[in-house]
Amino acid sequence: MQLASQSDESHRPHWFDLPPQILIRVVEQINQAVVITNADNIIIYVNPAYERLTGHTARAAIGQRPNINKSGHHDSAFYEAMWRTLETEGHWEGEIWDRRADGTVYLKYLILERIIDQSGQTSHHVALFHDLSEKKRTEAELERLTHYDDLTDLPNRILFRNRLNHEFNVSNRHKRSTGLILLNLDRFRQINDTFGFTAGDQLLCEIAERFTTCIRRTDLMAVQEDRTERDPDMVSRVSGDAFAFILSEMRQPEDASVVADRLMAKLEQPFEIAGEEVFVSASMGIAIYPQNAASEDALIHCAEEALAQVKQTGRGGYRFYSQEMNASSANRVRLEAQMRRAISEQGFVLHYQPKLDLASQRITGMEALIRWPMEDGRMVSPADFIPLAEDTGLINPIGDWILERAFADTLEIERRTGHRLTVAVNLSARQFQNPKLIDTVADALARSGLPPRQVELEITEGMLMHNVNEACKAMRKLRSLGVALAIDDFGTGYSSLAYLRNFPVNTLKIDRTFVNDLRASTSDACIISAVIGLGLGLGLEIVAEGVETEQQLALLRKSGCHQAQGFHIARPEPLEAIIARLSE
């Protein structure tokens, strides 16, 4: 008996002279399935491993023809080629799908040998095979680990990039349009801080699930129109609280807003964490290929740019990328460079807006408001550059300068007019979170010699809600220096008065939007007097911002408000102007 294929096996030690009973014991014990057929291709032997692997008993197999073309995974040409190779070359091996006795389809590695006798005729076929399912499972697991997010099971950043790349190749060829939505959950850190990471993780999973229902996984239209199916859309989690959506083969850009609307709607329903209802909002930036960008990186950049714009204008919602945004990003780069120069060259100035004490009708305090004069005489508004200063971290040196300047100016006013005013200084979020803030304030107080009781620091609600415990700690430290704390723009954030009780603040500054439409007969009058009443109940000093008319002032006075600030009393003005005003 001889193998038909006489390949490089010849260097192996020859063991065919072993007694057959030894050979059969080897075959019986190996873990590979062995099937031997005779010259007529009828099974004459199967080993125990064959029975284990296929689920067929030896009794059922012997006497039958081997039947492996029943998995449905290969066409008849595949089997024909296999048998042809076996007949011409005496050997075939490769991966092949087969079906077990219980019907399950599995992948196996199969080696077929043709055995020839002395006369050169086929005497037997030997088949050897083992199960590859386990190996495939490991491979699949590996694939899952590298391409899918462990927490939500969504495609991860790598798969997102692969898919975007694929999308570009296909879009290029077929001249079709691809949409990209980048989504950031708003203030997700706050949820982790408040409820802990486990709850945060669970929430992310639920969000992922809701998002998955918002995208098209198969194309119903294509099925109806009997076209080939489009690629499905993809949602991936690209980092902690960031998701990316690839919208394949869009018909028109509006398709992207349909998806974005759906995503927003999905978040309108509250989530439940630890028995509490939690609302989550998201900001999204949308960019479209090929309208907005010609490369993958550029498209991502455009979507990021649009997302940044949404965040800058108060978060929550979505925006399409536009050419102007590109200009505005170039603008920002320029502005940042100018801002660095302004820091080193003392290019900022402070204006002061007086606050009127309603009981005594006298100016007892003022708020320092930063101004940035440009060479052409224009003034850049803090609303325009404070966010950029925040993003770049430049707010820290700028903030230090503001404290120093404001304290010195307050003493200067007192020296020249005899008026002892309190000065309110705005803190930005990043400044407030900076652990060095307490030292900076203490240093500035010590250097200027201004008594701490003449200083009030303004923070906004949003800054407090970020991490309530940390915020309270920072506030208590500041209070321990002897300075007062005010909540600025009250009513625009989402804290309630009841919540405020937890914070060691002295003053409530009611946002000017409340004061603005204050007319005697409107319901706003009721709202503002209610807010004032509650604030008074909490023992807080109440300041109304943005007072523009005598009527508003009268109403505020009637409601028991302590102080008023606004154009009706005085606009923010330079140091010399306020000195002149107080000297009158």
Residue number of the CB atom closest to ligand C2E: 566
Compute the least distance from the CB of residue 399 to ligand C2E, in Å. 6
Specify the residue, 400 or 545, whose C-beta has the smaller distance to Mg ion: 545
When CB distances are held under 5 to 8 angstroms depending on the partner's kind, the choice from Mg ion, ligand C2E, none that residue 1 binds is: none
Cβ neighbours for 370, distance < 8 A, ≥ 6 positions apart: 348, 349, 350, 351, 382, 386, 398, 402, 426
Q: Which residues bind ligand C2E (CB under 6 A)?
A: 353, 368-370, 381-383, 386, 402, 426-428, 458, 488-489, 512, 545-548, 566-567, 572
Compute the least distance from the CB of residue 411 to ligand C2E, in Å. 18
CA 200-487-432 angle, 5° bins: 60
Contact between 233 and Mg ion by CB under 5 A: the answer reads no
Contact between 461 and Mg ion by CB under 5 A: the answer reads no
When CB distances are held under 5 to 8 angstroms depending on the partner's kind, the choice from Mg ion, ligand C2E, none that residue 33 binds is: none
Cβ neighbours for 371, distance < 8 A, ≥ 6 positions apart: 348, 349, 350, 351, 379, 380, 382, 572
d(CA 154, CA 157) in angstroms, rounded, equals: 10
Compute the least distance from the CB of residue 224 to ligand C2E, in Å. 55
**Residue 361 gets which letter from DSSP?**
T
d(CA 113, CA 407) in angstroms, rounded, equals: 94
When CB distances are held under 5 to 8 angstroms depending on the partner's kind, the choice from ligand C2E, Mg ion, none that residue 43 binds is: none
Specify the residue, 290 or 382, whose C-beta has the smaller distance to ligand C2E: 382
Compute the least distance from the CB of residue 544 to Mg ion, in Å. 10
Cβ neighbours for 331, distance < 8 A, ≥ 6 positions apart: none
**Which range touches Mg ion (CB under 5 A), out of 21-29, 62-70, 140-148, 480-488?**
480-488
Compute the least distance from the CB of residue 570 to ligand C2E, in Å. 9
Contact between 489 and Mg ion by CB under 5 A: the answer reads yes
Compute the least distance from the CB of residue 529 to ligand C2E, in Å. 20
SS3 375: coil
Specify the residue, 33 or 543, whose C-beta has the smaller distance to ligand C2E: 543
Of residues 504-563, those binding Mg ion (CB under 5 A)? 545
Crossing angle between the packed helical segments 157-174 and 296-312, to the nearest 10 degrees: 120
Single-letter code of the amino acid located at 303: A
Specify the residue, 259 or 475, whose C-beta has the smaller distance to ligand C2E: 475
Specify the residue, 236 or 428, whose C-beta has the smaller distance to ligand C2E: 428
Specify the residue, 96 or 427, whose C-beta has the smaller distance to ligand C2E: 427
Compute the least distance from the CB of residue 575 to Mg ion, in Å. 18
Find tokens 């699930």 and name the residue.
Answer: 209
Q: Could you tell me the end-to-end alpha-carbon distance of the chain, in angstroms, rounded to an integer?
A: 123
Compute the least distance from the CB of residue 458 to Mg ion, in Å. 4
Q: Are 573 and 351 spatial neighbours (Cβ–Cβ below 8 Å)?
A: yes
Contact between 37 and Mg ion by CB under 5 A: the answer reads no
d(CA 266, CA 83) in angstroms, rounded, equals: 57
Compute the least distance from the CB of residue 211 to Mg ion, in Å. 36
Contact between 488 and Mg ion by CB under 5 A: the answer reads yes
Contact between 458 and Mg ion by CB under 5 A: the answer reads yes
Among 54, 194, 292, 426, binds Mg ion (CB under 5 A): 426
Specify the residue, 115 or 553, whose C-beta has the smaller distance to ligand C2E: 553
Say if residue 226 is exposed, middle or buried (CB neighbours under 10 Å; 0-12, 13-18, 19+).
exposed
d(CA 98, CA 106) in angstroms, rounded, equals: 6
Phi, psi of 548 (to 5 degrees): -115, -15
SS3 389: helix
Task: List interacting residues with Mg ion (CB under 5 A).
Answer: 426, 458, 488-489, 545
